[in-house]
């Protein structure tokens, strides 16, 4: 059969893990657990590459990975076998055969993240570690107005965390949608790529505007000044979800 390349879609809750990337010690990570499960099904060591590494406590609805294997397994064997070995907070949604030139990270053209805020006076046990709780009222219209200045191709250094390894701070934000449904506010960001902690930093600034600490125009000033020190602290990891990765149609990756 030879070596074949597959892609797979993962869902996970990041609460119990030290992020995606395998750690030098014994800390549990998503990558380590998924690789171990795939290796057991394949009966040989399997390494996985992801579309984008998520930090400790960050969740995913649509993480895409690719891996190579010489094992003769059906798609159903891969999905059912791996899921039977994974903990309840990690699951494989599909496995798909791809060309050898497909790369989960470098072939991606768009990445969508969602940040979730529980906006009510008291915290909710049902949303613990799954949303950021903010007790003060938030002006969603002010946040929507402010967010529009971020759409386009800009230097996002003002929202770049220290330790960011990106070669360039220039990214293209394609769309931002902010919605409220009862006490849940969601921020959906679609871009070609992101800087380290970029979404959590942007959301921190938007919340400050939603609390009327600053006017909507303040966000544009921060963006233009490219100074991280001017922006407020980032929001916690628990509200962030990697929701979708888009690829060129030539790869025929399922959604």
Residue with tokens 């008291």: 122
Residue 195 region by backbone torsions, left for phi larger than 0, else alpha for psi between -120 and 50, else beta: beta
Q: Which residues contact 114 (CB under 8 A, 6 or more apart)?
A: 61, 186, 187, 188, 189, 240, 241, 243
Q: Strand 59-69 vs strand 4-12: parallel, antiparallel, or unpaired? A: antiparallel
Active site residue 55: yes
Q: Which of 55, 68, 89, 139 is catalytic?
A: 55
Q: How many residues does the chain have?
A: 255
Contacts within 8 Å (CB) and 24+ apart, 146-154? 146/205, 146/206, 146/209, 146/216, 146/217, 146/218, 146/219, 146/220, 147/176, 147/178, 147/187, 147/206, 147/219, 148/176, 149/219, 149/220, 149/223, 150/176, 150/202, 150/219, 150/223, 151/175, 151/176, 154/223
| Catalytic annotation, residues | 55
């Amino acid at each position: 059969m030879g070596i074949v390349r597959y892609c797979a879609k993962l869902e996970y809750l990041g609460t119990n893990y030290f992020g995606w990337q395998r750690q030098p010690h014994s800390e549990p990570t998503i990558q380590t657990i998924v690789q171990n499960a795939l290796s057991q099904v394949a009966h040989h060591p399997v390494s996985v590459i992801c579309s984008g590494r998520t930090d400790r406590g960050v969740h995913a609805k649509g993480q895409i990975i690719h891996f190579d294997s010489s094992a003769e397994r059906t798609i159903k064997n891969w999905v059912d076998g791996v899921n039977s070995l994974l903990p309840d907070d990690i699951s494989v949604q599909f496995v798909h055969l791809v060309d050898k030139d497909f790369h989960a990270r470098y072939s991606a053209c768009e990445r969508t993240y969602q940040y979730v805020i529980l906006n009510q006076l008291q915290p909710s046990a049902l949303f613990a570690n799954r949303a950021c709780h903010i007790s003060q009222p938030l002006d969603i219209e002010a946040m929507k107005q402010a967010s529009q200045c971020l759409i386009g191709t800009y230097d996002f250094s003002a929202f770049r965390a220290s330790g960011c390894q990106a070669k360039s701070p220039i990214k293209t934000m394609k769309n931002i949608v902010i919605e409220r449904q009862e006490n849940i506010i969601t921020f959906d960001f679609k871009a070609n790529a992101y800087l380290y902690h970029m979404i959590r930093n942007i959301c921190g600034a938007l919340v400050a505007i939603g609390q009327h600490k600053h006017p909507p125009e303040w966000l544009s000033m921060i963006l233009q000044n490219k100074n991280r020190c001017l922006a407020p602290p980032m929001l916690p990891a628990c509200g962030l979800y990697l929701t979708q990765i888009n690829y060129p149609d030539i790869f025929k990756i399922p959604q």
